[in-house]
Structure 1
Amino acid sequence: MTIDRRTLIGSAIGIGMAGMTSAAASAQDWPPAVPADRSPNRPAWPPRETFRIWPGRAPGSPETLPVDGSTMEGPADGRQLWVRGVAHPTLSVYRPEKPDGRAVLCMPGGGYKFLSVQNEGIHVAAAFNPHGITVFVLTYRLPGEGWANRADVPLQDAQRAMRVIRSRAAQWNIDPAKLGCIGFSAGGHLAASLTVGFDDKVYSPVDDADTQSARPAYSGLIYPVIDLSIGPNGDSTKSLVGPDATPEQYARYEASKRVTGDTPPMFIVQALDDPIVNPQNAINMMEAARAHEVPVEAHFFEHGGHGFGIKGLSEDMPAAHWPLFFRLWSAKHS
C-alpha cells in the first residue's frame, strides 16, 4: 500500500536524535530518551551505531535548538516513524554481513518538514544490506527550524556526511570510491542538490574530514523534487527556501539546470501518477543528464503514486521492483 502523504504531511511530528559516537558512547548518550509514543509497532530507532556528524553545534545553530520528539504517523494499517526536531544531524550505520565495498548515503523525504526514516531509511538498509551494500541513513536538519541560511542547511549536512564517511571508510570496510547517495522525494531533491552541488562552499571546514570529496560516485533519485519552480511539489519548495526567497536562491536549487559533464551518474525512479511531486521533475533531470552526456538510467512507471519507498507497493506492481534495478545499476557504476 502506498503511503499517502497528502493525509499525513500536515500533522507530522518527529524525533530528534540523541548524539553519540559510534565507537564509544558514554552512558548518558545511550539510550535516547523514550518518546511519548510507545506504539508496539514502533521500529528500533536510532540504531546503536549512530553518531553526530558535526563536532559541537552544526553551522548556523540558533540559540535554542529544535526540540526532539517522535510519533508514528499514518493510517492504522500503515503507520510509519517520522522524525522532526533534528538538533544534531546524525548518521545511522547499517552494516551488511559481507560488505562488498559499496555504500550509500540515504536521505529520507518528508517535504523538508519531517524525515520518513522508516519507509525511506530503515527499509532501504534492509533491502540493500543482504547484497553487501553498507547504508548510512542521514537525519539532516530541517530548514524551517530556526537555522541561519535555511536553504543551505540540508546540503551542509549531506556534504559533511559524505566527507565523514570517506574519512572513516576503513572502519566500515567500504571503498571511498564506491560511495554513492540515494534520496526520496525532498530527500531526492537533497540528493540531486548534492549531485550537482557537491563542491558548493556552504560551510567552513571544521576538521580533517573536510579535506575529503563530497562527490557521490553515483546518485539514486527516487520520486525526486528536482526544480523548485515546478508545481506542485508538496511542501518542499516553501519549506526549503522560505516565503521570501530570492530568484538567485531558486536558481541555485534548480538541480536540472546545474548539471555539467562532471555530474555523477544518475538513477531515476518516478511514478507517472504521483499526486505530490510533478513527474516533470524527473523528466527534466533525465534530459539534462542526456544533454551533458552524463550516464543516466530512468524508470517511469504507470502506477505507484508517491512515497512508496521499499515496501509501499504490492509485488505485482512493476514499480515495487526498482530496488533490484538500482542494486544492479549501482554495481556497474562502482
Structure 2
Amino acid sequence: MSAGPSRRAFGAGVALSLLSGATLAQTAPPAVAGWAQAWPPKEVLPLWPGDPPGWRGGVTPGLPADWPPNFLREVARPTLNVFRPARPNGQALLVCPGGAYLAISAANEGGEVARTFNALDVTVFVLAYRLPGEGWDNRADAPLQDAQRAMRLIRANAATLGVRPETVGVLGFSAGGHLAATLATDHAQSVYAPIDAIDRLSARPAFAGLLYPVITMIGPQAHARSRDQLLGAQPSPAAAARRSPDLRVSAATPPCFVAHAADDTNVSIDNSLGMLAALRAAGIRCEAHLFETGEHAFGVGRPGAPSALWPQLFRRWMDGKTA
C-alpha cells in the first residue's frame, strides 16, 4: 500500500482511510524535549470557583516522585490552559491529554498539540483534569465533571476568549481520548450539582477527535491500567458499561474523527474499531484514519511518519463541522 491515504466506505456516515509507511523507531519517550516551552501557557483559568466536586481535603499521590515533570499529577485544582493563536479564526478545541488516568501528558499531548493547532489559527484549551485514583468521591465521574465544566466555561466566556461557542469541539488522546469520547456520549449526564449560571449551558461538543483512544472498559480489549484508575479494581459489569463510550452512543452524539495505529500494542486498535461500529450503528457521521505504523502516544505525529498527517486531516474535517 502506498504512503498516501486511500478511502473506502465503512457504513453509513463513516469515511475510513488506511495509511501506511516506514516502520517507526519507537514510541514517544516519557520526557519531552523542550516541554517547558510548551507548558504551562501564560493564561490559566480555574474550572471551579471553590473546591471541586468530591473534594476530600487533599489528593493522594499516584505516581513516584521521580516521574518526568511533563507528566502532571496530584491535580487538586483542575484548570483550563489557554493557548491563543496569532490570528484566531473563532474555532476552538478542548484538548484532553492522556496518561492512563494516572498522569497527564501535558507536553506531548497538550502543549505540542496546542502549538500545532495555534499555527492553524485554532484557539486551544488544554484541560488539566482530576485523576480519579487520587482520592475523589465518585472517582468514575471526576474527569467527566471537569470536561463538562470546561466546555461550559469556554462557552460562557466565548466573547472574551475570542471563540464562537457553537464551534467548540473536543480532542483527546489515549485515556484522554476516553474522556473526550465520554464527553461526546454523556455530555448531558448529570454528574455534579450545578453551582452557577455557567452550568445551565450545554456541555455537548460540536465534534470529537479521538486519537488512539481507550474506549471499552470491558473484556480483553480494555486498557487495564486506565480502567483500574478510573473505576477501581474489579469494577462491576454495570460500572464498566457505564463508562464504555461505545455502549453509550446515541443520536445526540456529535460527529467523530478517529485515528489509531495498527501496531499500537498499548491500546488496541480494536478500541477505535468498536467505537466506529457503534457510531455506524447509530448513524453518526464519522471519519477514521488507521495508520499501518505509529505505535502509541505519537501526539501530533513523528516527522516523516504517516501519523504526522493527522493534524491537517483533522483540521480539514473540522472545518466542515464548524463552518
Please, what TM-score do these two structures have when normalized by structure 1?
Answer: 0.84
Aligned to 1:43: 36
Aligned runs of 1:1-334 on 2, under 5 Å? 4=27, 41-44=34-37, 45-66=39-60, 73=68, 81-230=70-219, 231-233=221-223, 235-311=225-301, 313-315=302-304, 317-334=305-322
From the superposition, tell whether residues 253 and 174 of structure 1 become closer, same or farther in structure 2 (CA, over 3 Å). same
Q: Is the 8 A contact 1:104 1:179 kept in 2?
A: yes
Q: Deviations over 1:22-59 (max 9, x none)?
A: xxxxxxxxxxxxxxxxx994514322200210011100
Q: Is the 8 A contact 1:142 1:154 kept in 2?
A: yes
Structure 1 residue identity aligned to 2:319: A
What secondary structure sits across from 1:285 in the alignment? helix
Deviation at 1:64, TM superposition (A): 2.4
Structure 1 residue identity aligned to 2:212: Y
Deviation at 1:211, TM superposition (A): 0.9
| In 2, Cα distance between equivalents of 1:71 and 1:219 | 34
Q: Any gaps of 5 or more consecutive residues in structure 1?
A: 13-38, 74-79
Q: Any gaps of 5 or more consecutive residues in structure 2?
A: 1-23
Q: Is the 8 A contact 2:62 2:102 kept in 1?
A: no
Q: Deviations over 1:184-216 (max 9, x none)?
A: 000000000000000000000011110110000
What secondary structure sits across from 1:235 in the alignment? helix
Q: Is the 8 A contact 2:216 2:222 kept in 1?
A: no
Structure 1 residue identity aligned to 2:230: L
Q: Deviations over 1:143-181 (max 9, x none)?
A: 000000000000000000000000000001111000000
From the superposition, tell whether residues 66 and 47 of structure 1 become closer, same or farther in structure 2 (CA, over 3 Å). farther
Q: Deviations over 1:112-147 (max 9, x none)?
A: 000001000101111111222100000000000000
Deviation at 1:314, TM superposition (A): 2.9
| In 2, Cα distance between equivalents of 1:97 and 1:297 | 29
Structure 2 residue identity aligned to 1:251: A
| In 2, Cα distance between equivalents of 1:133 and 1:41 | 22
What secondary structure sits across from 1:181 in the alignment? strand
Q: Is the 8 A contact 1:53 1:89 kept in 2?
A: yes
Structure 1 residue identity aligned to 2:70: L
| In 1, Cα distance between equivalents of 2:140 and 2:67 | 27
From the superposition, tell whether residues 289 and 299 of structure 1 become closer, same or farther in structure 2 (CA, over 3 Å). same
Q: Is the 8 A contact 1:267 1:326 kept in 2?
A: yes
Q: Is the 8 A contact 1:226 1:255 kept in 2?
A: yes
Structure 2 residue identity aligned to 1:279: I
**Count of residues in Structure 1 that have an aligned counterpart in Structure 2:** 296
Aligned to 2:10: none
| In 2, Cα distance between equivalents of 1:232 and 1:207 | 36
| In 1, Cα distance between equivalents of 2:99 and 2:224 | 9
Aligned to 1:26: none
Which structure is richer in relative contact order (CA contacts within 8 A, separation 6 or more)? Answer: 2
| In 2, Cα distance between equivalents of 1:233 and 1:244 | 13
Structure 1 residue identity aligned to 2:146: D
Q: Is the 8 A contact 2:90 2:122 kept in 1?
A: yes
| In 1, Cα distance between equivalents of 2:200 and 2:128 | 22
Deviation at 1:65, TM superposition (A): 3.4
